[in-house]
């Protein structure tokens, strides 16, 4: 089982729609969580960190459910420019590896 | 502010050739990372350096070597390139795990 799992999509949504992505992680020792965005043939860029109480940044809302070991990202009022792959990222503390673990990504295509 | 700089951006090699991918960051970060990204596979960690003077294997280290030359620079070497190493390579840095990572814009490597 992968340490971080995401639905690969693609999610095809019309402009203005609300879309949600989920991500599950296997290791309960995980302590830090992020969502990254990656445009086609570009480097990943940090979208937002995910805090235990949930957090919002404009049209984007991130939630963490430690009991069920999943993270979600909600995008409201989708824009064409939101089309990208969204990577779920987890810091797993007990592997002895001081590095983040990336999911394979969920592709979003916003259509006019 | 350049952030993370990778060179070269593109490279074509023949099987058996060697080459070094260069990475430098100007953010005074302690930790640096090398990833490869293949279609549908997500980012996979090759090697990382948690601090100057240390290096550790990641998920897919075979066929690669690294050098943390100083705090700024972290190079990745392919001693005898194989077609299976055709990929996009990303370098990243962070002040310290579990902080989010900043990525370079990648090196596209093709091995014939």
Residue of A64 and B42 predicted with greater confidence: A64
C-alpha span between B99 and B21 (Å, rounded)? 24
Say whether pLDDT at B13 is over 90: yes
Residues of A in contact with B43 (CB under 8 A): 44, 87, 102
Mutation target for B interface from A27, A31, A43: give the one with most B CBs within 10 A. Answer: A43
Q: Which pLDDT score is estimated for A93?
A: 65
- The distance of B56 to chain A (nearest Cα, Å) reads 8
Cα-Cα-Cα-Cα dihedral of A105, A44, B58, A66, to 10°?
-50
Q: Which pLDDT score is estimated for A16?
A: 97
C-alpha span between A97 and A83 (Å, rounded)? 32
Q: Are A70 and A23 in contact (CB under 8 A)?
A: yes
Q: Which of A43, A49, A105 sits opposite B104 (nearest CB)?
A: A43
85-104 of A, contacting B, C-beta below 8 A: 87, 89, 91, 93, 97-100, 102-104
Average pLDDT rounded to a whole number, residues B88-110: 91
Residues of A in contact with B31 (CB under 8 A): 98
Tokens encoding B90: 């990303």
Q: How far is CA B92 from CA A75, A87, B10, in A?
A: 26, 15, 17
C-alpha span between A83 and A99 (Å, rounded)? 27
- The distance of A82 to chain B (nearest Cα, Å) reads 19
Residues of B in contact with A7 (CB under 8 A): none
Q: Which pLDDT score is estimated for A56?
A: 94
Tokens encoding B4: 């993370």
Say whether pLDDT at B67 is over 90: yes
Output the tens digit of pLDDT for each of chain A's 112 residues.
678 999 888 999 999 999 999 999 988 777 889 999 999 989 999 999 998 888 999 999 999 999 999 999 999 999 999 999 999 999 876 556 667 889 999 999 999 9
Q: Which pLDDT score is estimated for A42?
A: 92
Largest CA distance in chain B: 38
């Amino acid at each position: 089982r992968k340490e971080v799992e995401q639905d690969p999509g693609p999610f095809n949504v019309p402009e203005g729609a609300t879309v949600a992505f989920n991500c599950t992680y296997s290791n309960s020792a995980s302590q830090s969580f992020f969502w990254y965005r990656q445009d086609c043939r570009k480097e990943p860029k940090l979208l937002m960190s995910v805090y235990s109480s949930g957090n919002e940044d404009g049209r984007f809302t991130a939630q963490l459910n430690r009991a069920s070991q999943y993270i979600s990202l909600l995008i409201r009022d989708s824009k064409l420019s939101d089309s990208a792959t969204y990577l779920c990222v987890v810091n797993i503390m007990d592997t002895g590896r001081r590095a983040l673990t990336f999911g394979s990504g969920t592709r979003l295509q916003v259509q006019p | 502010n350049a952030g993370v700089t990778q060179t070269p951006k593109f490279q074509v090699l023949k099987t058996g050739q060697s080459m070094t991918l260069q990475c430098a960051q100007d953010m005074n970060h302690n930790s640096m990372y090398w990833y490869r990204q293949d279609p549908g596979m997500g980012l996979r960690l090759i090697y990382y350096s948690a601090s100057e003077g240390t290096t550790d294997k990641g998920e897919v280290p075979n066929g690669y070597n690294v050098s943390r030359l100083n705090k700024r620079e972290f190079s990745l070497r392919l001693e005898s390139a194989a077609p299976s190493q055709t990929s996009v390579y990303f370098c990243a840095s962070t002040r310290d795990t579990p902080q989010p990572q900043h990525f370079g814009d990648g090196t596209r490597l093709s091995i014939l």
